[in-house]
């Protein structure tokens, strides 16, 4: 998957499953998630479960911070990087 593929899938999931109706309308891949409070600890846990189940990627606790979860674009970049790392190590992406 490309970084854009991850971003598109994440916008769809976050907007459809994690956000209240009034917050869905303005969601883009650059909407601040942590700083605006759209992602809290429960929603991050749900998102991590979705990432593992949907993409087969494990996000280490070291990467669960405001920098990596700033917005969907940064999450997508992190996931793309993890997938490339896994591929280079011979693991399925």
Categorize the per-residue pLDDT at 93 as very low, low, confident or very high, splitting at 50, 70 and 90: low
Looking at residue 91, its pLDDT comes to: 66
Angle at 82 between CA 77 and CA 87, to 5 degrees: 125
Q: Is 46 exposed, middle or buried (0-12, 13-18, 19+ CB in 10 A)?
A: middle
pLDDT, one tens digit per residue, over 46-83 is: 999 999 999 999 999 999 998 999 999 999 999 999 99
Using the CB atoms, write b or e for 29-43: b if 16+ within 10 Å: bebebbeeebbeeeb
pTM above 0.85, yes or no: yes
pLDDT, one tens digit per residue, over 12-53 is: 999 999 887 777 778 999 999 988 888 999 999 999 999 999
């Amino acid at each position: 998957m490309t970084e854009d593929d991850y971003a598109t899938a994440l916008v769809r999931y976050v907007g459809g499953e994690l956000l209240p109706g009034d917050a869905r309308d303005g969601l883009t891949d650059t909407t601040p998630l942590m700083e605006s409070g759209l992602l809290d600890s429960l929603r991050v846990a749900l998102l991590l479960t979705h990432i593992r189940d949907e993409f087969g990627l494990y996000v280490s606790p070291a990467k669960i911070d405001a920098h990596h979860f700033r917005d969907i674009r940064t999450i997508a970049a992190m996931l793309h990087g993890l997938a490339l790392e896994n591929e280079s190590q011979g693991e399925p992406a």
